[in-house]
Amino acid sequence: MKKLKLSTVALAIAGPLAAAVVSITISSLAVLASHKSPIDAYKTMWDFGTTSGSLMQMLNTATPYYIAALAIAITFRAGLFNIGVEGQLRLGAIFGAYLGAKFILPPVLHIIAIMVIAMTIGGLWAAIAGYLKVKRGVSEVISTIMLNSLAGGLSSYLLANYFVDRTTNSNNMSTKTLPASGQFPDLMPLLNKFGVEDQPGGGVYGMLVFAIALGFVFWFVINRTRFGFELRASGSNPIAARFSGVNSKRMVFVAMALSGAVAGLAGLPAVLGETHAFNMGFRTGIGFSAIAVALLGRNNPLGMGISALLFGFLEVSSRSLELIDIAPETYVIMQGSILLSSVIAYEVVRRYKITLQSKELAKAVAE
């Protein structure tokens, strides 16, 4: 028994380690291809990435990734795949920003109201895919991808024609600025108290704290509640889940809608914490990076947290590569190779684990 545990730990480390070696090799080759030294590149990235300004940006990049990854993980655990997080978070953000600027509520309530709006919109958008899957048998993978493209067109249409704030004269189309009660306080004042100094353009999204809390809620709901159990059962064996009394169609629909609702929140850290409005500069690609974060973190709240930080770190620190004349886009190679080598490593480890357990079992039975 003890030996089994030890080898389990070794296995848990072996996967990521192998993946790291492979991805560092590939990334180094990419840097070498542009006739530069990989060592220099990593050193530059590390030096720049570990300054407190960069670390703050890392946290700010990681926060939406984490929330979006939680959303995707809900569907993964249910045996589904919500690729439409990008569209859901975009629509959630634009409706949250636009409607949130229309009313004034006491500080905390206002933020909650905006979150509810964003969750509702994101949830409804994803529910379309859930409905099509349950009623018409349309693969959620394809429908959510189509819904992504629709959300992109729809949000720019809405912004340009209805949601734009015409009182300000700016080239950057934007919704009206949120009132102070609808802005999520920055963590900077708090950090100042701990001796962290202000950084130019700095600040840490207050929603970081919210995201961490969401991670705990995710863990509890998925791993310790009946709903979570039924969701996971549908994911690991849908037929057995149905035989055990889970309404599989409803589960598909609920999981998609819930995932969309959480995804709706992923656009808010920037909207509530920085721009205080939805504008043309709204970051694209969060939903896709979050797929990688979820896969890399194995749908586990802690793992996804680490992955989100890693992705944020790579993105922010790679900006320094410009200084030594290496394309900063190198980080996409790093992220991509980490992702691919990890999913392969996880699968190899999973298979090995079953073999190992069978062996242990045979021994235990023989004794």
Partner 1 sequence: MKTKAVKFLRYATILVFVLAIIRQITGASDLTSVGTASAALLLSVPIVLAGLGGLFSERSGVVNIGLEGMMVMGAWAGGMIGTKHGPWLGLLAAIVFGAVGALVHAIATITFGVDHVVSGVAINIIAMGLVRYLSTLLYKAGTWQGPSQSPDVNSIGTNSLPVLSGGNYFGWKSPDLLASLAEKHWFFISDLAAILRGITGDLSYVTVLAIAMVPLSLFVLWKTAFGLRLRSAGEAPIAAESLGVNVYAMKYAGVLISGGLAGLGGGFLAIVAANHYQENQVAGRGYIGLAALLFGNYRPGGIMMGAGLFGFADALQLRDSASVHALILLIVVVLAALVVRDIRKGKIVKAALTFAFAGLSLWYFMAVKELPGQLVTMTPYIATLLIMSLASQRLRMPAADGIPYRRGGLR
Partner 2 sequence: MSVAVELRHISKRFPGVIANKDVSMSVETGTVHALVGENGAGKSTVMKILYGMQRPDSGEILVNGTTVHFKNPNDAIEASIGMVHQHFMLADNFTVLENVILGSEPQHGITIDFAAARTKVVEMAAQYGLEIDPDVLVEELGVGQRQRVEILKVLYRGARILIFDEPTAVLVPQEVDDLFNALKGLRAQGMAIIFISHKLDEVLRVADDVTVIRAGSTVAEVKSKDVTARQLAELMVGSELPQPSTHGDTRRPEITLALKDVSIPTKSGSRDLISHVTFNLHAGEVVGIAGVEGNGQAELVEAIMGLRDYTGVIEFSAANINDLSVAHRRDLGIGLIPEDRQRQAMMMESPLWENRILGHQRGKPVMNGFVLDMKTIMTDTKSIMEEFDVRAPGPQTLAAALSGGNQQKFIVGREMSKAPSLLVASHPTRGVDVGAQGAIWEELRRAREKGMAIVLISADLEELIGMSDRLLVMLRGVVTAELDPAKTTPEQLGSAMTGAS
Contacts with partner 1 by CB under 8 A lie at 30, 33-34, 81, 83, 132, 136-139, 141-143, 145-147, 149-150, 153-154, 156-157, 160-161, 288-289, 291-292, 295, 325, 327, 329-330, 332-333, 335-337, 339-340, 343-344, 347-348, 351, 354
Put residue 35 in one of left, alpha, beta given phi > 0 → left and psi -120 to 50 → alpha: left
Does position 364 interact with partner 2 (CB under 8 A)? The reply is yes
Does position 172 interact with partner 2 (CB under 8 A)? The reply is no
Q: How far is the CB of 234 from partner 2 (least distance, A)?
A: 10
Long-range CB pairs of 103-111, under 8 A, 24+ apart, other chains included = 104/179, 104/181, 104/182, 105/181, 105/182, 106/181, 107/180, 107/181, 109/181, 110/179, 110/181, 110/182, 111/181, 111/182, 111/184, 111/272
Q: Which residue has the tokens 């090799």?
A: 25
Does position 362 interact with partner 2 (CB under 8 A)? The reply is yes
Shorter beta-carbon distance to partner 1: residue 25 or 34: 34
- Interface residue with partner 2, options 189, 237, 322, 329 (CB under 8 A): 237
Q: How far is the CB of 280 from partner 1 (least distance, A)?
A: 13
Tell me which H or E stretch contains 269: helix 268-270
What mask, x for binding partner 2 by CB under 8 A, covers residues 262 to 291?
------------------------------
Angle at the Cα of 295 (from 358 to 240), degrees rounded to 5? 50
Instruction: Pick what 59 binds: partner 1, partner 2, none; C-beta below 5 to 8 Å, kind-dependent.
Output: none
Measure the CA–CA gap between 246 and 236, rounded to whole angstroms.
13
Measure the CA–CA gap between 76 and 303, rounded to whole angstroms.
14
Instruction: Pick what 242 binds: partner 2, partner 1, none; C-beta below 5 to 8 Å, kind-dependent.
Output: partner 2
| Contact positions vs partner 2 (CB under 8 A) | 1, 4, 223-227, 229-230, 232-233, 236-237, 239-247, 350, 353-355, 357-365
